[in-house]
Structures are given as structure tokens and as C-alpha cells.
Structure 1
Amino acid sequence: MRVLIVDDEPLARMRLAALLGECDDVEVVGSVGDGEAALAAIGELSPNVLLLDINMPGLDGTALARRLGARARPQVVFCTAYENHAIEAFELGAVDYLLKPVRLERLREALQRAARRLDAAPREPSGYLHGRLRGEQVRIALDEVILLQADEKYVTVQHTGGELLIEESLRQLEDTYPQQLVRLHRNCLVPHARLVGLKTLADGRTLARLAGTEQQPEVSRRNLPALRKLLRMG
């Protein structure tokens, strides 16, 4: 089980990491201090479970869980000092709600619940993009794709392991994977799960913030309303 810790208090993160070290079959893949960093880490690290604080500056825990929404998301275990968010937490689909200081026995119980829910979740087949690399036919899972950019005859696929040229057009890819890919502008598509935010520049242009890369491709005005709606809906 791959666990990401999200808490704005460094000592709380350290304590949770120490407790997780005493749990079987658990790998701590990351530890971050705010919701925006968590969104980026989810796209890059693919955790199964979030240990998520609620009261954090900026994007708090419940807002983050709401942002994840209907995406293929990790199981959420809230870890908080406050009792009054429990109803909302479970309405957001949390697998458990732990009060600080978190006890090892309760943490193990929460992880067991998360494991059962993960085992029961349907396994959806991942899509693949096919292309050639140094004369060999290769395929890249959509989960590994960061962005797709059209350039004359080919489309360049930037993924977690490098780049790949494919012959399908952006329109063909968009029609094949309408629930997985979203258009930023006429020459660029990105997976829904990679889009973590939008940044407006002083000159009025808008850039997309993508998980797993520092690149911030420009968004066309035509596609901006759909992207804003996608982010609101999670």
C-alpha cells in the first residue's frame, strides 16, 4: 500500500511516518504540507491512500477531497484534531476519520479498511498509446502521459519516462479517450488527472499547472471555461 501524508505540521508528518513504519505492507511514498502540493504529488507518485489533515492553509483537507471528486483517487483517511468535520468527511467518501494524536491501533484499522475498499474497487483497463522508439514498436499507458503536443505530421507524447512520437492526431485521441483527455488549445491535450490548476498572467494569458512536470502550457480562451468547470467538479 502506497501512502501519502498531507499535513501542514512537520512534527505531525514525522509522527505519522513513524507509525506507518510499524505497519505491515505499507510504503510512505511522500510527505507534503499543503493541499496544492498534495495534488501534484498524487499525479506524480500515485498513492493508494492519503493520510489527510483538514485544517491547512490554502487548499484544506475537505476542499482537496472534494477537488479529487470522481477522479481515479486514492482512499482518504482524515487525521485531524477536530471532531466536528466527521460527517462532512464521510459524505466526501473518506474511509476513516482519526483524531490526533493518532494511535497505532486505529491507524492499522483504518489502513485495513482502505485495503478492503481498494480490493473491492473495479479494475478499469488502462488505455495505451502506441508509437515507435528507435525503430521499435512501444506502448505507453495513459496513466504515464503528462501531455500530448501536435507538431506538423506527428504528435509528441511527453510521459514520465521521456518522449514518444505517435501518428494519431489529437482529434483521434480526443475522440478515443474523451473521459481521460482534455484539450488546452488546438495543439495540446493533457490527461484530466494531470490538470491541478490554472495560472493567470499579468498580460491576461492563462497557463495550465500539471502534476509531474514544471511545464505550464498555455490555455486558449476557447477552452478556458471547460477547464475551469473541470477543476471545480474535480
Structure 2
Amino acid sequence: MRVLIVDDEPLARARMAALLGECADVEVIGNVGDGEAALAALGELQPDALLLDINMPGIDGVALAQRLAGRARPQVIFCTAYEAHALVAFELGAADYLLKPVRLERLRDALQRARRRLADAPREPVAYLHGRLRGEQVRIALDEVICLLADEKYVVVQHRRGELLIEESLRQLEETYPDQLIRLHRNCLVPPPRLLGLKTLADGRVLARLDGSELSPEISRRNLPAVRKLLRLG
């Protein structure tokens, strides 16, 4: 099981990594200090489980879990010093809720619960976009896409390994994948998990901050309420 530790206290992250070192079949693939860094790491590291603190600067643990609610992977295991959020955690579908200081046997039980849930989760079919690269037909998994930009008669697919031109229009893609793409502007679609936040410029324009890219596409006034709602509700 691939585990990402998310906690704003370096000593807590080190202790959790040490505990995980005593758990069978567990690989600690990284540790980060806040929810925003965790979002950025999710697409790159693809963890099976998050060991997630709650009280953190910026995006806290509950807000991060809200964004991940309904997804089979990663499983969320809260690790916190406070009991107050336990009900909310389980309403969000957390695999477990551990109180600090975390005991090794309790951690092993939580990881086993997460493993069972991963094994029982139905596998989602992988969606692919098809295009041409240097004259050859290629495909890109939709979950690798960072954004889709209209460019005359083609759409440019920005993905983790480069770019790809496809012939489908943004409207066709939006209709085909209504739950997997959100429109920012008439010339831009993005997968919701890629949205990290917003940046408002002095002239009032609002730009999107995207996971995995320095590109900051503009959000139209028409689409801004839906984007704000998505970020607020996860």
C-alpha cells in the first residue's frame, strides 16, 4: 500500500513514518505539510491512502477530505489530536479516525480497513482521449490531463508528459465527460481535481491555479460561480 503523510508538524510526520516502517506491505511515498501540497502530490504520486491531520494552515484536513469524497482512491485515514471532527470524518467516507499519539496496532487496523475498502471498490473504466503526435495515433488517459485549450480547429491537450492535438471540440468533450471536466472559459476545460485555487488580478480578472502546470487560464464571469462552488464544496 502506497501511503502519503499529510501533517503540518515535522515531528508528527517523522513519527508516523517510523510507525509505518513497522507495518507490513506499506510504502511511504512522501510527506507534505499542508492540504495544498497534498493536492499537488496526489496526481503525481497516486497514493492508495492518506494519513491526514485536520488542523493545518490553508486547506485543512476536512476540506481536503471533502474534495476526495466519493473516490475509492486514496482512502483517507485521519490522524488528529482532537475528537471533535470524528462524525464529519465518517460522513465524508474516511476509512478510519485515529487519535494522537497513534498506537501501532491501531494504525495497522486502520490500514487493513483501507486495504479491504480498496479491494472491494468497483474499478472505474479508464477514459482516453485520442489524437496524433508527430504523425502517429496516440492516446492519453483523461486523469493525466491538466487542461484542454481550443486552438482554431483543434483542441490542445496539456498533460503531464507534454501536449497532444485532438479533433473533438470542447463542446463535444464537455458533453461526453460532464462529470470529469469543468469549463473555465469558452476556450478552456479542466478536470476538477486539477483546480488548486484562484488568483484575482488587479484588473478584476480571475485566473485558475492548476496542479501540474504553471499555466493559469482565465475564468470567465459566466463560469466563475460554478468554479467557486466546486472549490468550496470539493
TM-score (norm 1): 0.94
- Taking the aligned partners of 2:72 and 2:196, their CA distance within structure 1 comes to 14
Q: Which moved more, 1:121-130 or 1:33-42?
A: 33-42
Superposed CA deviations along residues 42-75 of structure 1, whole A, max 9, x for unmatched, are 2332222110011112222122212333456521
Q: Summarize the Cα distance change of 1:72–1:172 in structure 2 as closer, same or farther, 3 Å threshold.
A: farther
Please tell me the residue identity of whatever aligns with 2:232: R
> Within 5 Å, which residues of 2 pair with 1:56-205?
56-70=56-70, 73-205=73-205
Where in structure 1 are there 5+ consecutive unaligned residues? none
1:182–1:189: 8 Å Cα contact kept in structure 2? yes
2:67–2:233: 8 Å Cα contact kept in structure 1? yes
Q: Summarize the Cα distance change of 1:195–1:72 in structure 2 as closer, same or farther, 3 Å threshold.
A: farther
Task: State, as a whole percentage, how many aligned pairs show the same letter.
Answer: 81
Q: Summarize the Cα distance change of 1:71–1:210 in structure 2 as closer, same or farther, 3 Å threshold.
A: farther
Please tell me the residue identity of whatever aligns with 1:4: L
Cα deviation, residue 30, structure 1: 2.1
- Taking the aligned partners of 2:210 and 2:43, their CA distance within structure 1 comes to 8
- Taking the aligned partners of 2:140 and 2:58, their CA distance within structure 1 comes to 35
3-state DSSP of counterpart to 1:42: helix
Cα deviation, residue 136, structure 1: 1.5
Cα deviation, residue 35, structure 1: 1.4
Cα deviation, residue 178, structure 1: 0.8
> Within 5 Å, which residues of 2 pair with 1:28-39?
28-39=28-39
Please tell me the residue identity of whatever aligns with 1:206: V
1:71–1:193: 8 Å Cα contact kept in structure 2? no
Q: Which moved more, 1:79-88 or 1:173-182?
A: 79-88
1:54–1:78: 8 Å Cα contact kept in structure 2? yes
2:206 is the counterpart of 1:206? yes
3-state DSSP of counterpart to 1:155: strand
Superposed CA deviations along residues 161-199 of structure 1, whole A, max 9, x for unmatched, are 111111111111111111101111111111111112112
- Taking the aligned partners of 1:114 and 1:85, their CA distance within structure 2 comes to 19
TM-score (norm 2): 0.94
2:49–2:114: 8 Å Cα contact kept in structure 1? yes
Q: Which moved more, 1:39-48 or 1:149-158?
A: 39-48
- Taking the aligned partners of 2:136 and 2:146, their CA distance within structure 1 comes to 22
Q: Summarize the Cα distance change of 1:34–1:207 in structure 2 as closer, same or farther, 3 Å threshold.
A: same
Please tell me the residue identity of whatever aligns with 1:156: V
Q: Which moved more, 1:145-154 or 1:40-49?
A: 40-49
- Taking the aligned partners of 2:17 and 2:10, their CA distance within structure 1 comes to 11
Please tell me the residue identity of whatever aligns with 1:118: L
2:80–2:100: 8 Å Cα contact kept in structure 1? yes
3-state DSSP of counterpart to 1:19: helix
